[in-house]
Structure 1
Amino acid sequence: MLKSLEGSWCLVLGASSGIGRAIALGLAAEGVNIAGVHFDTAARAEEVAELTERIGALGVQTRFFNVNAASKATRAELVPQLAEMTGATGGIRILVHSLAFGSLVPYLPREGWDKRLTARQLAMTLDVMAHSLVHWTQDLVDAGLLRAGSKVYAMTSAGTSQHLPSYGAVSAAKSALESHVRQLACELATSGVAVNALRAGTTVTPALERIPEHAGYIERAAENNPHGRLTRPDDVAEAVALLSRTDSSWLTGNTIGVDGAELHAAAGAWG
Structure 2
Amino acid sequence: MSTAPLAGKTALVTGGSGGIGTACARALAADGSRVVIMGRREEALRASRSQIADAVPDAEIAICPGDAGSEEDVGRALEQAHALAGRLDILVPTVGGSGFAPFLSASVADLRRDLDLNITTAFIAMRLGAPLMKAGGSIICISSTAATLPFPALATYCASKAGLEGLIRTVADELGALGIRVNAVRPGLTRSEATADMFADPAVIGRFLEQTPLKRVGEPEDIAAAVAYLAGPGSSWVTGQSFAVDGGQELRRNPDLLGAG
Match of 1:69 in 2: 68
Counterpart-to-counterpart distance in 2, 1:213 and 1:79: 36
Q: CA deviation at 1:210?
A: 5.3
Q: CA deviation at 1:197?
A: 1.4
Is 1:52 matched with 2:49?
yes
**Is contact 1:9-1:92 (8 Å) kept?**
yes
Counterpart-to-counterpart distance in 2, 1:161 and 1:67: 31
2:213 alignment partner, SS class: coil
TM (norm. structure 1) is 0.81
Is 1:145 matched with 2:142?
no
Counterpart-to-counterpart distance in 2, 1:251 and 1:214: 38
Q: What is the identity percentage for the equivalent residue pairs of Structure 1 and Structure 2?
A: 26
Match of 1:31 in 2: 32
Change (3 A) 1:244 1:48: closer
Counterpart-to-counterpart distance in 2, 1:60 and 1:51: 13
**Is contact 1:146-1:193 (8 Å) kept?**
no
Counterpart-to-counterpart distance in 1, 2:37 and 2:134: 16
Alignment: residue pair count: 250
| Alignment map for 1:72-91 (pairs within 5 Å) | 72-87=71-86, 91=87
Change (3 A) 1:225 1:249: same
Once the two structures are superposed, residues 115-147 of structure 1 have per-residue CA deviations (whole angstroms, 9 ceiling, x without a partner) of: x42x333223212211222222121223x2353
Instruction: Please provide the CA RMSD for this pair.
Output: 2.7
TM (norm. structure 2) is 0.83
Is 1:180 matched with 2:173?
no
Match of 1:95 in 2: 91
Q: Which of 143, 147, 167 is 1:156 aligned to?
A: 143
- What is the letter of the counterpart of residue 51 of structure 2? R
**Is contact 2:66-2:73 (8 Å) kept?**
yes
5+ residue gaps in structure 1? 110-115
Once the two structures are superposed, residues 25-44 of structure 1 have per-residue CA deviations (whole angstroms, 9 ceiling, x without a partner) of: 1222222221111123x7xx
Match of 1:260 in 2: 247
5+ residue gaps in structure 2? 255-261
Once the two structures are superposed, residues 18-74 of structure 1 have per-residue CA deviations (whole angstroms, 9 ceiling, x without a partner) of: 21121111222222221111123x7xx2x5423212323421211122211111221
Q: CA deviation at 1:95?
A: 1.1
